[in-house]
């Protein structure tokens, strides 16, 4: 998971199944918080989910 993949960079992205799970949880939390009228907290969950799910530098070709 974190072995060196070419260049000087160790692979650092989360494995896909873990990403899927975490982003789904965070989307759900975000939607619940929006319903509870806590928009700031909801936005924070969506921002976290996006940061987890986006292809990281160097690993873009793996998805």
Partner 1 sequence: MTENTIRVHADSEDAMRYQELLDSDWSREILEGVLALLRKLIAHGAKPDAIPWQKVLIFGPHKKSEREFDSTILSRLRDLARAFEEPALPAMPDQFTAIRPSRIAAQAEQAWAYLIIQSMARLRGSKELFRDTQSLLFLCSAHYLLPQLQNHGLTAEHDCLACAMYVHTLLVWRTQPAHLLHLQSILMDCLGDRQRRLDLLNMSFRLTAPHDHSYLTRATAYWSELMELHKYEEAADFLFLLTKQAPDSCQEEIQEMLSETYVEANGAVSR
In 1-63, where do the E strands start and end?
none
Nearest to 33 by CA among 45, 49, 51, 21: 45
38 makes contact with partner 1 (CB under 8 A): no
12 makes contact with partner 1 (CB under 8 A): yes
46 makes contact with partner 1 (CB under 8 A): yes
What's the token pair of residue 43?
């936005």
50 makes contact with partner 1 (CB under 8 A): yes
Name the 3-class secondary structure at 55.
Answer: coil
Q: Which residues contact partner 1 (rule: CB under 8 A)?
A: 2-4, 7-12, 14, 16, 19-20, 22-23, 26-27, 30-31, 34-35, 39, 42-44, 46-58, 63
């Amino acid at each position: 998971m974190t072995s060196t993949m070419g260049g000087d960079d160790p692979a650092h992205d989360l494995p896909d199944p873990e990403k899927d799970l975490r982003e789904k949880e965070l989307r759900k939390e975000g939607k619940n918080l929006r319903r509870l009228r806590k928009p700031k907290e909801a936005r924070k969950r969506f921002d976290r989910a996006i940061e987890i799910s986006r292809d990281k530098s160097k690993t873009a070709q793996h998805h």
